[in-house]
Amino acid sequence: MYKRILLALDNSRAARLALDEALKMARAADGTVLVVAVVEHVIPIGDVQTGFYDDQAFGAVAHEAAEAEVKRAKERCTADNVLVMSRVIDSYGQSVAHVIVDAAAELEADLIAMGTHGHRGAGRVLLGSVAESVLRLSNVPVLAVRDATPYDTDEALASGS
């Protein structure tokens, strides 16, 4: 049984579904959910006139959004009587996948739970896959929870799956 489950949040429905699964496992094993949100620092398009953008303001907004998401997850864990620890981590030059794997090692997690978006084709090439990278880098098992969208359901029905 998994006793220390790192839940990686990315403000997606898939991550919220991963929270549901992490809670089930933590309750069954009397375990702890380690909630982590990684703030990725990307350079947004700046002011068209000056080419300037305010990195501190942009970073603060991203950090506040991550804090709010972590707070919601902590509230769910507490409501379900599951022990919870949480962190918001700034990536600063590291890939999100590396930050998640490093956090799992530091927090002594024995499972990583996270959402995956199921991008395919050009979308996957352009966006990459944090979940796939975590799977390749992690020394502990990874539970990747996918959110089936209506498009996916229609496609599965059409293909007979």
pLDDT of 129 = 86
Average pLDDT over residues 57-74: 87
* Every domain of the chain and the residues it spans: 4-159
- Above 80 in pLDDT, residue 130? yes
φ/ψ bin of 44: left (φ > 0), alpha (ψ from -120 to 50), beta (otherwise)? beta
Question: Which pTM does this prediction carry?
Answer: 0.81
Residue 38: partners with Cβ closer than 8 Å, 6 or more residues away: 8, 10, 66, 88, 89, 90, 91, 96, 99, 100
- Above 70 in pLDDT, residue 161? no
What is the three-class DSSP state of 143?
strand
Average pLDDT over residues 129-144: 95
Question: Is the C-alpha dihedral spanning 124, 126, 130, 132 positive or negative?
Answer: positive
- Above 70 in pLDDT, residue 68? yes
Domain 4-159 is found in CATH 3.40.50.620: yes
pLDDT of 15 = 95
